[in-house]
Amino acid sequence: MYPPVGPIAIQLGPLALRWYGLTMTTAIFLGAFIASRYIARRGQNGGTIWDMLMWVLIPAIVGARLYYVFIQSPRGPDGLERYLTHPIEILEVWNGGIHIYGAFIFGGLALLLYMRWHKLPPFIYLDAIGLGLLLGQAIGRIGNFINQELYGPPTTLPWGLRIDADHRVPPYNDLNRYPDSVRFQPLFLYELLWDALGFAVLFWISRRFEKRLRDGDLFLLYLIWAPLGRFFIEFMRTDSWFFPGTPFNVVHLLTAAAVIGASIALYLRHRAEPEQQVQGAETKNAEQNSEVESSEEAPAEEEQTSVEASEGSRLQLESQG
């Protein structure tokens, strides 16, 4: 497997339009489109998604880049030290190197402030954003493929990814030990397929169980699905900084917290539903029984009233006689 195109789509003198930027832009706008349609379906103004996009997008990009540079990039001359030595490279986002969890942190804070400022129903909008994010993340992985990033250790699998020497991280940039014939795990592909499947599943759930879902349930499902796949993919990352002596990194902690927290929240939200349904059925049966008893008592009361009226009339006639 090898990218069919180079990283640059169009070159006009010093200006270059890169495929990475095109795929990210496509991912953002298609994700926003899905979110806006969901918002409109829920009776809200779908245009609000487009209004909030720029307010959230800029902090998200800044956070994604800073997270990659200072947390995700490997320690050493080809990672963090290079950025500290040449700080201008931190701004070169078009060369790749952003991290979705940095975007979540900075963009999420901006999103919460925006919803609070405009007094929007947060859970409905979080559901819409979670649905759009899965699609956007899947599309965005195509940019990683073209940039020859987000790959794992060497593999002999038939779908192994060929990585050019200038895109390899140590120790795989040693061509004596890892010649051009070596192929690598295409982690971008695994995450692309996982996120695309997740989008299909959540979209189906949003339609199939629309009447049973509570506001916020879709977002909790997103917080379970996307981080769960990322948790296992991170074990194969070759460009991450791991805690010394362990196979874990910061992303493992974040994803585990998201999956566990969202699972508990989803369980607690729906735990009382069977009891409420039983109580509701018992209340309904009691009301029906009460109506039946009332309907049975009514003729008896009428009959007693009629007897009393007849007896009164007879006594009155006798007294007159």
Coil vs helix vs strand at 103: helix
Query: DSSP class of residue 95?
Result: G
Tokens of 282: 């018992």
Q: Tell me the C-alpha distance between 215 and 67, whole Å.
A: 30
The answer to whether 203 and 37 have CB atoms below 8 angstroms apart is: no
Q: Are residues 66 and 177 in the same domain?
A: yes
Question: In whole angstroms, how large is the CA radius of gyration of the chain?
Answer: 32
282 within domain boundaries: yes
Higher pLDDT, 87 or 159: 159
Q: Are residues 295 and 146 in the same domain?
A: no
Q: Are residues 155 and 188 in the same domain?
A: yes
Residues 255-304 pLDDT 10s: 999 999 999 999 999 886 655 444 444 444 555 555 545 555 555 555 55
Q: Are residues 57 and 190 in the same domain?
A: yes
Q: Are residues 267 and 281 in the same domain?
A: no
Sign for the pseudo-dihedral over CA of 198, 203, 204, 206: positive
Distance of CA 7 to the CA centre of its chain: 28
Q: Are residues 119 and 134 in the same domain?
A: yes
The answer to whether 125 and 43 have CB atoms below 8 angstroms apart is: no
Q: Is the pLDDT of residue 36 over 80?
A: yes
Q: Are residues 310 and 176 in the same domain?
A: no
| Least confidently predicted of 9-23, 73-87, 257-271 | 73-87
Q: Tell me the C-alpha distance between 240 and 250, whole Å.
A: 9
Q: Are residues 176 and 130 in the same domain?
A: yes
Helix axes 217-233, 250-270, angle to 10 degrees: 150
Domain count, the chain: 2
Q: Are residues 119 and 177 in the same domain?
A: yes
Q: Which domain holds residue 232?
A: 8-271
194 within domain boundaries: yes
The answer to whether 207 and 41 have CB atoms below 8 angstroms apart is: no
Q: Tell me the C-alpha distance between 227 and 220, whole Å.
A: 11
220 within domain boundaries: yes
Q: Looking only at Cα atoms, what is the longest distance across the chain?
A: 134
Q: Which of 3, 29, 2, 31 is nearest to 18 (CA)?
A: 3
Q: Which of 115, 141, 116, 117 is nearest to 129 (CA)?
A: 115
Q: Tell me the C-alpha distance between 108 and 114, whole Å.
A: 10
Q: Are residues 261 and 304 in the same domain?
A: no
Q: Are residues 294 and 310 in the same domain?
A: yes
213 within domain boundaries: yes
Q: Are residues 22 and 86 in the same domain?
A: yes
Q: Tell me the C-alpha distance between 266 and 271, whole Å.
A: 8
Residues 86-137 pLDDT 10s: 778 777 776 667 788 888 899 999 999 999 999 999 999 999 999 999 999 9
Q: pTM, whole model, 2 decimals?
A: 0.78
Q: Is the pLDDT of residue 306 over 60?
A: no
314 within domain boundaries: yes
